[in-house]
Amino acid sequence: MQTWWDALTAIEKILWFIAVPFSVIFILQMILSFTGIGGGATDPGAEFTNIQTDVSAGHDISHSNEDAGPGFSFFTIRNFIAFFTVFSWSGLAFNNAGLSIALTVILSVVMGVVAMLLISSLFYFTSKMTDSGNVSVKNAIGATGKVYIPIKANKGNVGKVQVTFQGSIRELQAITLLDKDLSTNTIIKVTGLADENILIVESN
């Protein structure tokens, strides 16, 4: 093993350093996501592309600029993990094929972006199919879950939570009336509805 490692070039060592941990995380994440063990999507961070509407005083939360259902989210922690997983393995493959470092990096970045698009599309259409049945958001009242996109105190924004009700895990918009922010992965309980599509939650 030591002999093999010493024989690697600097770029190969970097790619291996990226490939191994990200591959392990990626595989575990996919298993948890599709078995539901991890709350439907084990993305530990917020979705950066979801524009959170300011619902402070004077703003009507019913006019949130996020769709009621799951949106197509590209810049997520889940997708970044997919990017670096594919980027590193592609880089190793291209490097072994004898390509230059510059071309290897460029092609690996392209492959990583393609992977992000595929993962985003997969989760988007999976969520659409899940939500295509008869879903009543009212049934989420009393259910527990966890924060996916941070929620600011006193209706400071519209975040997102993952809640289990009607037999499946769903990702829904939410606000809180509490005087404290609810960070990602905070365990919450649904206490009511702000409107037909936005939950009111509090820490559980």
Could you read off the pLDDT of 175-203 as tens digits, one per residue?
A: 999 999 999 999 999 999 998 889 999 99
187 within a domain of the structure (yes/no): no
> Total structural domains in the chain?
1
- Gyration radius from the chain CA atoms: 20
150 within a domain of the structure (yes/no): no
- Confidence class of residue 50 from pLDDT cuts 50, 70 and 90? very low
Q: What's residue 111's pLDDT?
A: 95
- For residue range 74-127, list pLDDT tens digits in order: 678 888 999 999 999 999 999 999 999 999 999 999 999 999 999 888 877 776
DSSP per residue, 104-166: HHHHHHHHHHHHHHHHHHHHHHHHHHHTTS---GGGGTT-EEEEEE-B-TTTT--EEEEEEET
Question: Do residues 107 and 99 touch, judged by C-beta distance below 8 A?
Answer: yes
Among 15, 16, 27, which Cα is nearest to 107's?
A: 15
Residue 186 vs residue 44, higher pLDDT? 186
Q: What's residue 32's pLDDT?
A: 78
Question: What pTM value is reported for the model?
Answer: 0.50
91 within a domain of the structure (yes/no): yes
d(CA 200, CA 106): 45
Q: What's residue 103's pLDDT?
A: 94
User: Which residues constitute the domain of residue 75?
Assistant: 1-35+71-130
Residue 175: count other Cβ atoms within 10 Å of its Cβ.
26
49 within a domain of the structure (yes/no): no
177 within a domain of the structure (yes/no): no
Beta strand 159-165 pairing with 187-193: unpaired
d(CA 28, CA 35): 11
Eight-state DSSP code of residue 182 = B
Token representation of residue 185: 């992965």
- Confidence class of residue 133 from pLDDT cuts 50, 70 and 90? low
Token representation of residue 38: 């991890």
Q: What's residue 195's pLDDT?
A: 86
20 within a domain of the structure (yes/no): yes
Q: SS3 of 174, please?
A: strand
95 within a domain of the structure (yes/no): yes
121 within a domain of the structure (yes/no): yes
Q: What's residue 62's pLDDT?
A: 41
Exposed, middle or buried, 90 (CB in 10 Å: 0-12/13-18/19+)?
Answer: buried
